[in-house]
Amino acid sequence: MSETSARPPSVDTLARSLVGSGLPHPILVDLARQAIAAGSPESAAACADLFRRTLLTPVVNATGVLLHTNLGRAPVAHTQAARAKTVEFDLATGTRGSRQQAVGQLFAQLCGAEAAIIVNNNASAVLLVLAALAEGRDVAVSRGESVEIGGAFRVPEVMEQSGARLIDVGTTNRTRLSDYERAIVRPGNDVALVLKVHPSNYRVEGFVEDTPVSQLATLDVPVVADIGSGLIDANVPWISGAPPAWLAGEPAAVQTLADGADLVTFSGDKLLGGPQAGIIVGSAELVARCSKHPLARALRCGGLVLAALQNVALSYLDRTVTTDIAFWRMVDQSTESLRIRAERIVDAAGTGTVVDSQALPGAGSAPGVSMPSVAVAVDGDVLKPLRNHEPPVIGRTRDGRTYLDLRSVESDDDTIVIAALSSLAQPSAT
């Protein structure tokens, strides 16, 4: 080797050699500099590839977890032109309008309530409700519902941040109406509201009792129910056939309000099937107090999310949920149709076997339940080569086999699954 070729390339030359990665020049310069400093300029291309894979990337979710928290929960289709829109503009008067008007009225209609507002996520919704209605006062919560959801949403901590004081009621496994009544009348207490939290991601069994909203509604203070998942109606009128068994026990907005809750809060990106958002729906007076609180400004959504959520609400009102909303489209597929797709995939890829499977709603909704599904199974743990495929395919393993569950895969993506499985057979697979 000659002396000149042993000299490391210049940062600029090395960066230019990486343009094929598609990354912007300043990032390539950084990667090139780091690779040269580490004494291995030849590693720069691999570093560029690794960097590219840290960017937000569309993937095929073949985990069978329909609302996968790490994959963005509900998949949402949304495109829009770069055009001004009436986010805060009243077309009738030509003056400033309310950001909450358009989508709020649709959710109120959908849930059979007087009013609704939209914020950043359900954690924001609960925080705003507590701050607006109970700052400096007491909020009664059952000890069985003082829960942690999704790692960072902990009822006592949200309560603390809101400036409201948590009053624990009842015991971990049993809380009765009389426990709430005692907390409300106890001298020294100043109970502004009762908060009922759906313990979305776990289930207590055995000697348990909670107080239903219909009983809480007889108390002298407003009842706020955090139902979490965003199931709009327990009758699930937007799918063909009866409500699926896996939804039993999942609280729904329409019924919780009909039972007498004054406000209901839920997520936009769980069982609703929309973008990340938090919906507060219920009494016009209480919703108005929430929207007037200074935190409402800090927690509001942008026009992009509002537009996507408006489409979701219109799909529910139009009863086009199982065509328009990916989550419900996946739920609505028969196992027979999944089996046909699986057989086609196995035939085309020349590998794998068709097996029965169990898919999960995910996102902490309906814990401990699953829905029948069909998967393609291949021997060994091939998760990594499937992730390295372009576009990446995310599966799961059990007992030394890899499963690609088709209920969480859009049928349009079956060709990607076929290509990824076919590439496993190639010796070049990484």
Ligand X SMILES: *Cc1c(COP(=O)(O)O)cnc(C)c1O
Residues that bind ligand X in the complex, under the rule CB under 6 A: 121-123, 149-150, 153, 197-198, 200, 226, 228-229, 267, 278, 364
Quick one: 99 or 198, whose CB is closer to ligand X? 198
Closest distance of CB 120 from ligand X, Å = 8
Q: Which two tokens stand for residue 406?
A: 């088709």
Q: Give the pairing type, strands 191-197 and 138-142.
A: parallel
Closest CA to 36 of 12, 19, 2: 12
Give the Cα separation of 419 and 277 in Å (integer): 35
- Tokens 């019924």 correspond to 255
* Residue 380 CB neighbour total at 10 angstroms: 11
CB of 277 to ligand X, least distance (A): 8
267 vs 311, which CB is nearer to ligand X?
Answer: 267
Closest approach, Cβ 108 to ligand X, in A, equals 19
Instruction: Report, in Å, the least distance between residue 175 CB and ligand X.
Output: 16
The residue among 121 and 255 lying less far from ligand X, judged by its C-beta, is 121
Question: Looking at beta carbons, which residue is closest to ligand X?
Answer: 228
Question: CB of residue 149 vs ligand X: minimum separation in angstroms?
Answer: 4
The DSSP-derived string for 181-216 is HHHHHSTT--EEEEEEE--TT----SS-B---HHHH
Closest to ligand X by CB, 226 vs 413, is: 226
Token pair for 108: 């109120």
* Residue 381 Cα to chain centre, angstroms: 28
Tell the smallest beta-carbon distance from residue 270 to ligand X (Å).
Answer: 6
Contacts of 66 (CB under 8 A, 6+ apart): 327, 330, 331, 359, 360, 361, 362, 407, 408
Tokens of 415: 């060709």
Tokens of 305: 């999310």
Q: Identify which of residues 61 and 120 has a Cβ nearer to ligand X in the complex.
A: 120
Decide whether 200 or 402 has the Cβ nearer to ligand X: 200
Chain position carrying tokens 């209609």: 109
Q: CB of residue 128 vs ligand X: minimum separation in angstroms?
A: 12
Q: How far is the CB of 221 from ligand X (least distance, A)?
A: 20
* Rounded-to-integer distance, Cα 286 and Cα 134, Å: 11
Nearer to ligand X, 129 or 404 (CB): 129
C-alpha distance from residue 315 to each of 194, 234, 250 (Å) = 33, 17, 21
Angle CA 252–254–259, to nearest 5 = 90
Closer CB to ligand X, 228 or 361, in the complex: 228
